[in-house]
Structure 1
Amino acid sequence: MLVLTRKKGESILIGDDIEITLVKVEDGSVKLAINAPKDVQILRKELYTEVEKENIIATAIDMSILKNIK
């Protein structure tokens, strides 16, 4: 893991086409601006984790239905 210190208005680059800029620091939180190609999916981790859980539950339900069909 790379840990960087940035001030308001400063950026980091990931590869050639993703730029993350620190926009605002306030009350223990930060606001980031992410400039990336449209084909790059950007999700908050908590949302990604929730979608993973939903997919696991949906798969388990589908598998149980398939097992009952004989």
Structure 2
Amino acid sequence: MIGHDIEISLIDIQGDQVRLGIKAPRSVAVHRKEIYEEIRSENQLATMRSRDVIDRLKGRPLKGDAEPEA
């Protein structure tokens, strides 16, 4: 048990592979580590893109953008 509402159970063992079962409330996200890291990376990219859009709407130059000529 993890806390009072998350239950981990051993489902199967075959050679060097182990299958686990996880019972958790729907409000708790459960992902393998590599999937979790991919989701996190995508969320960070989306946040950066959102900031870029906001800066463009405010008329601020972005990093790497050429400065407007006077």
Q: Say whether the fold is shared (TM-score over 0.5).
A: yes
CA distance in 2, matches of 1:59, 1:14: 31
Q: Give the structure with higher Rg (CA).
A: 2
Aligned-CA RMSD value: 1.6
Alignment partner of 1:53 is 2:34: no
22, 31, 37: which one aligns with 1:43: 31
Which has a greater percent of strand? 1
Q: Partner amino acid for 2:42?
A: E
Aligned residue pairs: how many?
58
Match of 2:14 in 1: 26
CA gap of 1:16–1:65, structure 2 versus 1, over 3 A, is closer
CA gap of 1:62–1:16, structure 2 versus 1, over 3 A, is closer
Q: Partner amino acid for 2:18?
A: V
Structure 2: state its 5+ residue gaps: 60-70
**TM-score (ref. length: structure 2):** 0.66
SS in 2 for 1:55: helix
